[in-house]
Amino acid sequence: MDGEWWRKKWVAWAAAAAIFVVLMLVTPAIPQDEDYHDFADQRDLFLGIPNTLNVLSNIPFLFVGLAGLILCHYKNYFRLCSQGELWSWTLFYAGVTAVGVGSSYYHLYPNDATLVWDRLPMTIAFTSIVAIFIIERVDDRAGTKSLAPLVIAGALSILYWSFFDDLRPYAVIQFVPCIVIPVMAIVIPPMYTHSSYWLWAAGFYLLAKVEEAADKPIYRWTHDIVSGHTLKHLCAAMVPVFLTLMLAKRTIEPDR
């Protein structure tokens, strides 16, 4: 039985690697658009902080991430059932905390070099969430063993973009979870109660992406009060807020 499990695991990883290689061969490189750094709201409102609102709107990530890290390890407040869950959620909250620092740094000096420190912690959070979903919905051991490869793959996607100016691996890391996680949520029964919080988190993440795309129109619509990118930060910070509420409230489903 154990040998069969390992065979299926390696087949799955090999299939994923083969699909990725084919995508890299048949699709053109995606360079970073330099206009990405041209945000709508570039005001210095106070304290001499450039791009003030885009910088300060990252503070919620820092507070939520630190709170999650503390609660993960304080008397097992979240009632996590395995070491795999503990390490996955720890990495998720570490990523969220680092987003608060890295994204603030990026928005102080928006350029490709500082963007690395914005995107790197985000990949840690994304990939940790995938491992968490595997642990909860598929198999604890499979999810635990996938955590390190997923996080390393995410970090390598950032390094690849940084060295070769090609966003394709990063795009895979960011958008594949957006497909895989909802499918797993629909097809595989949850291990815990309060799983609807995942849907709230996903909804706020999608809203954040819309606001990011509509950065300048939102700035115009609000008469230069707030930009879409600032709202994007605030909505994206609601993702770990809802997941923290879920962890605090949930219990194991009786049927599982």
Domain ranges (residues) in the chain: 52-249
Flag whether pLDDT at 95 surpasses 60.
yes
pLDDT at 22: 75
State the pTM of this model.
0.90
Mean pLDDT confidence for 132-156? 91
pLDDT band at 174 (very low <50, low <70, confident <90, very high): confident
Binding-site entries for Zn(2+): 107
Average per-residue pLDDT for the chain: 90
Give the pLDDT score at 137: 87
Buried b (16+ CB within 10 A) or exposed e, 92-103: bbbbbbbbbbbb
d(CA 221, CA 228): 10
pLDDT digits (tens, 9 = 90+) for 1-29: 556 655 666 666 666 677 777 777 778 88
Mean pLDDT value across residues 116-125: 95
Average pLDDT, stretch 170-197?
83
Q: Which residues are annotated as a binding site?
A: 107
Of 1 and 134, the structure prediction assigns the larger pLDDT to 134
Please state, in angstroms and rounded to a whole number, the distance separating the CA atoms of residues 61 and 237.
6
Contact in structure between 92 and 129 (CB atoms under 8 Å): yes
pLDDT surpassing 90 at residue 254: no
What pLDDT, on a 0 to 100 scale, did the predictor assign at position 113?
A: 94
Q: For residue 173, is pLDDT > 90?
A: no
Q: What is the DSSP letter of 110?
A: -
Classify 192 as helix, strand or coil.
strand
Q: In the numeric block, which tokens belong to residue 87?
A: 């390490």
Distances (CA, A) of 239 to 24, 61, 101, 173, 232: 31, 10, 17, 18, 11
Q: Tokens 């994206």 belong to which residue?
A: 236
Mean pLDDT for the stretch of residues 125-134: 92
Place 256 in a pLDDT band, splitting at 50, 70 and 90: low
Domain 52-249 has CATH 3.40.50.620: no
> Tokens representing 149?
């490869």
Mean pLDDT, residues 235-250 taken together? 96
